[in-house]
Amino acid sequence: MDINRIAPINIAEYQNLFLLTGAGISVASGLSTYRGPGGLWEKADVARIADAANLPGTLPDLWRLYKMRRAQALAAEPNAAHRAIAELQRRWGNIHRVTLVTQNVDGLHQRAGSIEVLEMHGSAFRTRCLDRRCSLEPFRDENLYDQVPACPVCGGPLRPDVVLFSETIPGRVLNRILQELSTCDLFVSAGTSGVVTPAAEFVRGAAYAGARTININIEPTDPPNPFFTEEFVGKAEEVLPRLFGLG
């Protein structure tokens, strides 16, 4: 794709912007995707470890996985895609509604300067008690554990505060997402395969709200998604700055 041929969006024409990002926007920062070539889910054991149905037996393996993921994310830097979104929020956030929803747990949006980020799948840098009845609130945590840490309140095991397979997105987060989708007039999806629900259904909600819907991914959607009005096949770190008139 010739990036210079992309016509920048006139943001002033829109009131409620909804941005959805996935693992693809962090590839340029050196982090793996989930379902693309070389993705994490190509490794069958990772899928077993990341399934909540296998807890608590897989907690040692889960912490080994998140020790690696935390270390990788801490060593990574936000790229042009993260920075473009943060700059869009800075420029337009006081004038228009700009909702950023990410499927990522790497914290790179925040490090790029994005203030409000709705994290669908939690954060690799939060930890909580495995026992939902425990009074311990999820807390910021960058420790690289070599063994399963113990809860300081109840003594039970702690776990990463992320949404695993067999778990649902927190209701307060999903409700906010659905509320914003119902009023958005511009929907941009970047770096996500668009095949995992409920995120795969978000563009449908935006289309029903009458929004302009744009998909940005390294590969074309297969099969094509009729709810996207436009698709740009390319790297998010190249397309987004141009699309937002920042490059």
Cβ proximity of 207 and 200 under 8 Å: no
Find tokens 């300067």 and name the residue. Answer: 113
Cβ proximity of 89 and 98 under 8 Å: yes
Catalytic, 121? Answer yes
Q: Pick the catalytic residue: 82, 96, 109, 121?
A: 121
Q: Are strands 118-119 and 122-129 parallel, antiparallel or unpaired?
A: unpaired
CA-nearest of 236, 235, 213, 233 to 221 is: 233
Which DSSP string do the residues of 41-104 spell out, in sequence order? Answer: GGSHHHHHHTBGGGTTTTHHHHHHHHHHHHHHHHH----HHHHHHHHHHHHHTTTSEEEEEES-
The residues that are catalytic are 121
